[in-house]
Amino acid sequence: MGAVYRGRSRSGREVAAKVVHAQYAEDAVFRTRFRQGIAAARRVEAESGDVFTEILLLDPATGARERVEPAGGGLRGAGTLREGTLWFTTPDGAVTAVSPRTGSVRWRTRTTLEQPGPAAPDPRTHTLYLARPAGRVAALDTREGTLLWETHPRSEGAALAGVTGSAVLPHEGTLVVTTPDGTVFGMDPGHPDREPVPG
């Protein structure tokens, strides 16, 4: 029926292109099935990530434990606890801020980043940063979840020696970003469109 090729769009998003034989290109049944397959793949991607069904609070002084169930059921994604908030990021770019004490969702926001690494909040500026394997970085307001900005890709994003994740670290007014291909760069979060400084 055709061949599927993996590539990258101009924005840095990973894409799959299917080259279809001419006899199928005009076939309405084939096109319908093809669209259904893509929709199913997008649903699986959006629903992927670990599911957390409870939060365990532990008092380090007394050892007392308390279990908190997240509001609305399980939380999906990679969790990070920092600055009194649990941040969950999913492979489709969604970010959820959760109160670890009550399990209530403070806000949810969707970015255009695919496969973002762990959330990195900067309490000084009330900003949450995320990076994806191609070196794209996003900034969100930690209080409301408002998307402040997103950058263009800064690296190839290919895995190096089995490393598949990316990370961003706010440090003294600079963001230090690492990607799976070994790229490290620093950038000014106040001017995200400026060229980054290689690490």
pLDDT tens-place values along the chain, 199 residues long: 555 556 666 655 556 666 666 776 677 777 776 666 665 555 444 455 567 778 888 888 888 888 888 877 777 788 888 888 999 998 888 999 999 989 999 999 999 988 888 899 999 999 999 998 888 999 999 999 999 999 988 776 554 544 557 888 898 888 998 888 888 888 899 988 887 676 6
CB 120 within 8 A of CB 132: no
Task: Tell me, yes or no, whether 55 and 12 share the same domain.
Answer: no
Task: Tell me, yes or no, whether 142 and 156 share the same domain.
Answer: yes
Task: Tell me, yes or no, whether 61 and 142 share the same domain.
Answer: yes
CB 174 within 8 A of CB 186: yes
Number of structural domains the chain divides into: 2
Task: Tell me, yes or no, whether 139 and 57 share the same domain.
Answer: yes
Nearest CA to 138 out of 126, 123, 127 is that of: 127
Nearest CA to 166 out of 47, 176, 196, 98 is that of: 176
Output the pTM of the full model. Answer: 0.69
Task: Tell me, yes or no, whether 20 and 55 share the same domain.
Answer: no
Residue 100 sits in a domain of what CATH number?
2.130.10.10
Parent domain of 156: 51-198
Task: Tell me, yes or no, whether 168 and 95 share the same domain.
Answer: yes
Task: Tell me, yes or no, whether 38 and 109 share the same domain.
Answer: no
Task: Tell me, yes or no, whether 103 and 27 share the same domain.
Answer: no
Up-side HSE of residue 25: CA atoms within 13 Å toward CB?
7
Task: Tell me, yes or no, whether 81 and 150 share the same domain.
Answer: yes
Report the alpha-carbon distance of residue 177 to residue 105 in Å, rounded: 28
Number of Cβ within a 10 Å radius of residue 117? 23
